[in-house]
A and B are shown apart, each in its own frame.
Chain A
């Protein structure tokens, strides 16, 4: 009898491992894109994504499969990000001076579906936008990214950030204004042109 229980437990664990692996395979690219926007560089984004998937796997038995996996996972990732920022005892500062091996700026942009607007953004605004995000208050940045990049509703963002919809509304509004102020100050021509075209 105890062996039967043990076997069923191990089978369930193996099943959940497979299930988790499948979910991770399906979502890791999207998670990485968000992590990159949050951290501002590739090595930190990779660390954040790995750490978040490990945490999520540890608590996978608490995941309610009737709800979207990404919402649950982003909550874990946002907590992991806050922890890593706290651990380092600083907000993002290196990204503003982030340089490639040749001494040139190394913002990497992968264009999956080139459109006229996207090409224009690539050419002119991709780097200032990321720098503007880095310079933003971290809570505002997460709220803005979840709403604008991930396309989540305020309610979903509030759920992920463990706060009220009113707070999310204020964070998104103030975050967008911070980003605009940054772009107007550091890339006024490009911002003016793109903002006019859009």
Chain B
């Protein structure tokens, strides 16, 4: 590794964030390269300046202020449970109301209609697949198929 490659890894070296092989390589380079050695010393000093910098404390009243804000804040679980039960009650009421309002005979007719519409949709699907087959849109029907790797046909 030359000086430029070493320099790019020096911070990680100072932090012990390189592989064993890289650490050895850099240590070997530092032993014989004065500018890189000086750079490494400076990076270590910078790291120490930040590590040793005293922590700034919050004001005396900050803890109480934060506790007040947290006490006022609704938790998600609380809001969810309120919303969940509110929604469930609303759904139940709506279902009961709907059941009471629909007369018995039309309900039976509605079920009949529903059965018919399901049968119709199955039929339509079958028709569509048969039409596709007839138009040779299905790759298994013998129509021309172009594979991605087949560059001669492009």
Question: Which residues of A does B touch, CB under 8 Å?
Answer: 2, 6, 9-10, 12-13, 16-17, 20-21, 24-25, 28-30, 32-33, 36-37, 42, 45-46, 49-50, 53-54, 57-61, 108-112, 115, 117-118, 121-122, 125-126, 129, 144-145, 147-149, 151, 153-154, 165, 169, 172-173, 176, 179-180, 194-196, 198
A residues near B63, Cβ cutoff 8 Å: 25, 28
Contact A24 B70 (CB under 8 A): yes
Cβ distance A18 to chain B, nearest Cβ, rounded Å: 11
Contact A50 B69 (CB under 8 A): yes
Cβ distance B4 to chain A, nearest Cβ, rounded Å: 13
Complex interface residues of chain B between 32 and 88 (CB less than 8 A to chain A):
42-59, 62-63, 65-67, 69-70, 73, 75-78, 80-81, 85, 88
B residues near A179, Cβ cutoff 8 Å: 46, 50
Question: Which residues of B does A touch, CB under 8 Å?
Answer: 8, 10-12, 15, 17, 42-59, 62-63, 65-67, 69-70, 73, 75-78, 80-81, 85, 88
Contact A53 B69 (CB under 8 A): yes
Which residue of A is nearest B58, CB measured? A32
A residues near B57, Cβ cutoff 8 Å: 29, 32-33, 110, 112
Cβ distance B37 to chain A, nearest Cβ, rounded Å: 14
Closest 3 CB pairs of A and B: A148-B50, A173-B11, A33-B55
Which residue of B is nearest A166, CB measured? B12
CA distance A125 to B52 in the complex (A): 11
CA distance A144 to B46 in the complex (A): 10
Contact B78 A10 (CB under 8 A): yes
Contact B45 A195 (CB under 8 A): yes
Contact B55 A126 (CB under 8 A): no
Cβ distance B56 to chain A, nearest Cβ, rounded Å: 4
Task: Tell me which of B8, B44, B76 has the highest count of chain A C-beta atoms within 10 A of its own C-beta.
Answer: B76
Contact B67 A21 (CB under 8 A): yes
